[in-house]
Amino acid sequence: MIISKHSRKIALSFVIVLGLSLAMILFDLSRMNIMQSKLDVITKEHTIKSSLMMTMRHGIYERQVSLRNIMLMDDPFERDDGKSVFNSYALNIVAARDAFAKMPLNEEEKALLSEINESMVQAYNAQMSLIDTSIYDNTKKITDKDLLRAFKTQESFMDKVKAMIALQTSATKKAVMDAEQSYDQAKSSVYLLGGGSIIFGLLVAIFIIRLTESQARDVNAAMLEIEHTNEKLEENVLKRTRQLAQARDDALASNKSKDAFLATMSHELRTPLNIILGYSELLTEIAKEDGSKKIVPDLSKIRSAAQHQLGLINSILDISKIEEGKLEIHAIEFDVEKLIDEINSAAKPLVAKNENSFEINCMHGIGMMYSDNVRIRQILLNLISNAAKFTDKGKIALNVSKDSDSAEMTFEIQDTGVGIEESYMDDLFKKFTQADSSTTRKYGGSGLGLSISMQLAKQLGGNIMVNSEIGKGSVFTVKLPMSYSA
């Protein structure tokens, strides 16, 4: 809906006034809640205080009755037992007095409590003196005058307690009256503000509705135009979506055809290469036996070239299987230390080509893993071969360790080679990728080894991370779970 500037100003003014009214209403409601809470606290305090004073008053009555009973007894031993009862009432009075003293007290209450303490001590001393005389001094007779003097101190004590009870009653009444007065004022304010806001809101609403009636037709026309535009936009989106879906299907079909072609051609190329490898080995043995050792180096070059090509073809086959989802994981339980020994034997010739040294750091009895040992061997040999290729007369190390929970095995391949520039890190594990074109010319390779290793590690539930510094070397870290889970 299109609203005029004039209408917006009126609406904004109304919102501001309404907001202020609501704020004031909320303030009054909050004040009412606070008053109610304060009243509850005050009433509770005075109720507790009054209850404690009532306990003291009851104790005074009981003690007075106990004193009369003691004076009526003839046997000193009975009077001694009566003294114990008398003292128990005295203890109840003291306990109530102590609990009262711990409550929040104003100055008037503190002064009156001090007078109560003095009267309590005087009454107790006078009565105990009378009781002790009746028990332990047979020569002295207790007169009515002595009893009257003791009861007067008790009455003075009682008057002070009654005064405290009256003070609590008066304070409670005053708090209730003040709260009722404040509550009535807040309630009147809420009714006034609420009613005024409702009336003002109705007036503003009527005014804005009348002011915007003339704009309704324009708004409806604009909405129809927007709906028409949305329909055309939806048609264009659907058309473009169909085009993108067709392009995606064509790309998937093309990629599938490419993978099938690579797999077929790889299988076709492996057969002649295996024949070349077999004949080169056979001719090498024949040449050694016949004394034609001059051709042995040439035959070795033929065999090396065929092995290199066969390795590239095997890599292409692995990539095709991975992308087609046909790569199978054969998990078995195997000894990690035995696997490392096999890798050591296979890696030494790779490392020795560039006169590098090879070192393995693996704790004896490191334990068993449940995973595909063939694929783990392939990953580690790929990474060691990669390290050997880019390191000349340096050092290559394989460090093997497991975490404290025996849940993850870590294989770390370190080299002192040329290192990798930071700009090439993101593309390092992509297919057919090397640092730059000069790397391929200088060191050779298809750029498949790292990609295959990463995808195999992920198939096994792990990952490969790399840190490198130009001129100082690289560290490839393979983390695999101790127990493979499909």
pLDDT tens digit string along 221-278? Answer: 766 777 777 677 777 767 777 777 777 766 666 656 665 666 566 656 656 766 776 7
Where the chain has pLDDT below 50, the residues are 1-2, 435-437, 440-441, 444
> How many alpha carbons lie under 13 Å from residue 182 in its C-beta half-sphere?
17
To the nearest 10 degrees (0 to 180), the angle between helices 449-459 and 373-389 is 150
Instruction: Look up tokens 């040999």; give the residue.
Output: 381
Please state, for a pLDDT cut of 90, what percent of the chain lies above it. 19
> What is the spatial distance between Cα 245 and Cα 255, in angstroms, rounded to a whole number?
15
Which residues have CB under 8 Å from 332's CB, separation 6+? 370, 371, 372, 373
Q: pLDDT tens for residues 360-375?
A: 999 998 999 999 998 9
* CA distances (Å), origin 51, targets 56, 164, 208, 386, 476: 9, 11, 63, 91, 81
- DSSP-derived letter for residue 485 is -
Which pLDDT score is estimated for 279?
Answer: 64
What percent of the chain is helix, strand and coil (3-state, nearest 5)? 75, 10, 15
Burial status of residue 461 (CB atoms within 10 A of its CB: 0-12, 13-18, 19 or more): middle
Under 8 Å between Cβ of 276 and 305: no
- 3-state SS class at 410: strand
Structure tokens, 371: 């995973």
* Predicted pLDDT of residue 220: 67
- In the numeric block, the tokens 């096994």 are attached to 460
Domain segments of the chain as ranges: 5-214, 329-481
Q: d(Cα 254, Cα 106) in Å, to the nearest integer?
A: 93
- Integer Cα distance of 334 and 344 in angstroms: 16
CATH assignment of 5-214, among 1.20.120.1730, 3.90.1490.10, 3.40.800.10, 3.40.1010.10: 1.20.120.1730
Q: Which residues of 237-266 are buried (b: 16+ CB within 10 A; e: fewer)?
A: eeeeeeeeeeeeeeeeeeeeeebeebbeeb
pLDDT for 447: 61
How many whole angstroms separate alpha carbon 95 and alpha carbon 89?
10
What does the pLDDT read at residue 291? 72
Strand partners, 469: 473
* CB-based contacts of 383, cutoff 8 Å, min separation 6: 413, 449, 450, 453, 464, 476, 478
Q: How far apart are the first and last CA of the chain?
A: 58
Distance CA 394, CA 388 (A): 9
How far, CA to CA in Å, does 159 sit from each of 4, 90, 106, 166, 252?
79, 17, 20, 10, 104
Q: What is the pLDDT of residue 257?
A: 63
Q: Which fold has domain 329-481?
A: Heat Shock Protein 90 (3.30.565)
Alpha helical stretches, state H, 107-143 = 107-136
* pTM value surpassing 0.75: no
Predicted local distance difference test score (pLDDT) of residue 1? 47
pLDDT confidence of residue 166: 86
| Phi, then psi, of 394 in degrees rounded to 5 | -120, -150
Q: 401 and 410 in contact (C-beta within 8 Å)?
A: yes
What is the chain's length? 486
Rounded to whole angstroms, the Cα distance separating 361 from 366 reads: 11
Q: 81: which residues sit within 8 A by CB, 6+ positions away?
A: none
Residue 405 is given by DSSP the state T
CA dist 47 and 88 (Å) reads 25
Q: Maximum CA pair distance of the chain?
A: 153
Residue 435: predicted pLDDT = 47
Helix (H) or strand (E) holding 154: helix 144-212
Task: Tell me the two tokens of residue 230.
Answer: 């949305």
Instruction: Tell the residue number behind the tokens 């360790």, with chain if given.
Output: 401
